[in-house]
């Protein structure tokens, strides 16, 4: 995706732009996918790249949708983030470089990963629509 930031600003709703393009975070427990349980695939809101299968979603009680692994390793890019004064690993969509959230090492088996993702950075397609 080779959109300029100005093109992204016009393409995305203001709240989505703030999260995806400016690295913002939605308030905990405010996102529409936090307690979402349908079967299907979670997509990047900006470019519609498939990111997570619903089978990898779990309730981390963190306030954001959480997944223990992406669909494939290639759909994610990672960037060190020290913006809060401590080290975290930012998760970005590989296809469009939109900010999705962060990944932590306190998740469940089998990966022990917690991909903590903003609902505003996601879309969802139910299994029968895939």
Ranges of H-type helices in the chain: 5-11, 14-20
Q: With bands split at pLDDT 50, 70 and 90, how would you rate the model's confidence at 127?
A: confident
Question: Quick check: 93 and 100 in contact, CB under 8 A?
Answer: yes
Structure tokens at 16: 């989505």
pLDDT value of residue 61: 95
Q: Whose CA is closest to 106, among 58, 37, 44? A: 58
Q: Decide if 116 is catalytic.
A: yes
Calculate what percentage of the chain has a pLDDT beyond 70. 98
> Is pTM, for the whole model, over 0.85?
yes
Find all residues with CB under 8 Å of 32, minimum gap 6, and list them.
119
Distance between CA atoms of 69 and 37, rounded to whole angstroms?
Answer: 16
CATH ID of 5-129, from 3.20.20.70, 2.30.29.30, 2.30.40.10, 2.170.150.20: 2.170.150.20
Quick: pLDDT tens for 23-78.
999 999 999 999 999 999 999 999 999 999 999 999 999 999 999 999 999 999 99
Strands of 114-117's sheet, edge to edge?
A: 57-58, 66-67, 114-117, 99-104, 88-93, 76-81
Structure tokens at 39: 């079967």
């Amino acid at each position: 995706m080779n959109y300029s930031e100005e093109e992204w600003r016009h393409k995305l709703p203001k709240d989505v732009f703030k999260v995806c393009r400016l690295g913002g975070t939605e308030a905990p427990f405010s996102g529409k996918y936090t307690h979402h349980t349908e079967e299907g695939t979670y997509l990047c809101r900006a470019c519609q790249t498939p990111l997570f299968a619903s089978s990898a979603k779990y309730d981390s009680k963190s306030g954001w949708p959480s997944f223990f692994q992406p669909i494939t390793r290639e759909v994610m890019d990672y960037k060190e983030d020290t913006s809060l004064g401590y080290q975290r690993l930012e998760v970005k969509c590989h296809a469009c470089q939109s900010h999705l959230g962060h990944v932590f090492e306190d998740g469940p088996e089998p990966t022990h990963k917690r991909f903590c993702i903003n609902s505003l950075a996601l879309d969802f397609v139910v299994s029968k629509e895939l």
